[in-house]
Amino acid sequence: MKKYYVLDTNVLLHSPQSLFAFNEHMVVIPEVVLEELDRFKTESSDRGANSREVSRIIDRFRTQGNLLAGVPLNESGGMLRVETNHLETAMPPHWDRSKGDNRILQVCKGFMEHGHPTILVSRDTNMRVKATILEIQAEDYRNDQVVSIEQQYTGRLTVYTSSAVINQFHDDDTHTIAPDAVLVYNNETHSLTTAVMEINQFLLIKSTDNDRHTALGRFDGKKIVHLRYAHRNPFGITPRNIGQIFMQECLMMSAEEAPLVILKGPAGTAKTFYSLAVGLYKQMECRPREYHHILICRPNIPMDEDIGYLPGSEKDKIDPYMRAVRDNIFTLMAGHNMTEAKEIAQAEDTVQMLFDKRTVQAEALAYQRGRSLQKYWMILDEMQNSTPRQAKGVITRPGVGTKIILLGDPEQIDHPFLDSRSNGLSYASEKMRGSHLCFQVTLQHDECERSPLAAEAAIRL
């Protein structure tokens, strides 16, 4: 039976391609949705771009038939229809009929009263609750959602093997371990079973007869190899836990070997700090320089959507959102033991110089569209607040010699229409899983190193 899927505006602003995600069913766009899309089309943000793309798609179908009656969407029998009827459909008397949300719900209710199986698709939780009040079936847009956060790829795995194998691995830096020589613990059967590993997955290798006998390695797709950078100290930084050792490994690799690095984990696990430390090391201490610039972007909602309303130049508008980055660079320049006012002032001047000379650049994520970046160390912070479309847009930007680092915590999302399964960070992580060009590490709560209080809060709050 053909179903009627009524799309809320936020679904189309999130993904213009959602129009094609419903196979043989009827896709309905209430006329009020077109009016709401029209309000966003002049924006320079990702939302504005999506609004314009949706309008172009609908206009293309307009030339193929009568949108009010419905035009074919695909070969499966799917149809696209713009709905202007059901104005007289009864609604709760205290609901404001002029509100766009209530008009969309009125269209859904009208279809139901005419015997059509109707489903409202909205990313707005309150909209779905109101639909339930009217006994309208409502769903979130799930086409670009990934698995739940507990099932998402972490880029690391604990495996088990004999002490003899670990001893051999330690004795010779060129020695490797065959994949069939390690096992994983199965929580369901409470037994050790054959390990299934992803390419570039980092491994904590434990002995089956001695819990304290361990080794660290990486699966390169064929065998388990040694970590090459575990004992390095980029910009004077020493890894303090296993997660940071794994993180340092993939950050220290060249852009040719590891052009994309995805680091997830709670606050205080040094994702941004470590990314800046390795970037500054590569830019300031390595000769010849591997990268010309360090570029930092953050998809803060106010920055991308309201930046045009803030006074000043682009730099003046972005600076308030980059204070966390400045704090991290200051810590790298000053160290933890600096107490003299003169030394602190010198460190602050050095930080400012890095920005003034554009060694370190800070830009809005929305302005990266259309760029082709050559030899950039590109840090994309707080990417849990980006959409899948934004994540795709920036990952497809790098040119030769550019390395992209995606950072964020899927459990701390500020975007009103994103969650742990639909944000750009999780989406990129799952879609790039298994790529030989992508390295991933998820830091754990007990690997928080910001301070004892930060570690305790990350676990308790």
The confidence score (pLDDT) of residue 195 equals 93
Assess contact for 234 and 252: CB atoms under 8 A: yes
Assess contact for 454 and 267: CB atoms under 8 A: yes
The confidence score (pLDDT) of residue 301 equals 46
Distance CA 150, CA 158 (A): 16
Q: Where in the chain is the domain with CATH 3.40.50.1010?
A: 4-139
Task: Give the model confidence (pLDDT) of 335-350 as tens digits.
Answer: 766 667 888 888 899 9
Distance CA 35, CA 39 (A): 7
Look up residue 22 and give its two tokens: 């419903």
Judging by DSSP bridges, how do beta strands 260-264 and 438-442 pair with one another? parallel
CATH number for 4-139: choose from 3.30.70.120, 3.40.50.1860, 3.40.50.1010, 3.40.50.170: 3.40.50.1010
The confidence score (pLDDT) of residue 305 equals 46
Q: What is the DSSP code string of 308-376?
A: GGSSS-HHHHHGGGGHHHHHHHHHHHH-SS---HHHHHHHHHHHHHHHHTTSEEEEEGGGGTT--BSSE
Distance CA 94, CA 45 (A): 35
Q: Where in the chain is the domain with CATH 3.40.50.300?
A: 235-460
Taking 3-state DSSP, the helix, strand and coil percentages for the chain, each rounded to the nearest 5, stand at 40, 20, 40
Cα-only R_g, the chain: 26
Distance CA 112, CA 368 (A): 44
Report the Cα 329 to chain-centroid distance in Å.
23
The three-state secondary structure class of 393 is helix
Topology (CATH level 3) of domain 235-460: Rossmann fold (3.40.50)
pTM of the model: 0.84
The confidence score (pLDDT) of residue 304 equals 45
Instruction: Extract the residue ranges of the chain whose pLDDT is less than 70.
Output: 300-317, 336-339, 369-370, 458
The three-state secondary structure class of 442 is strand
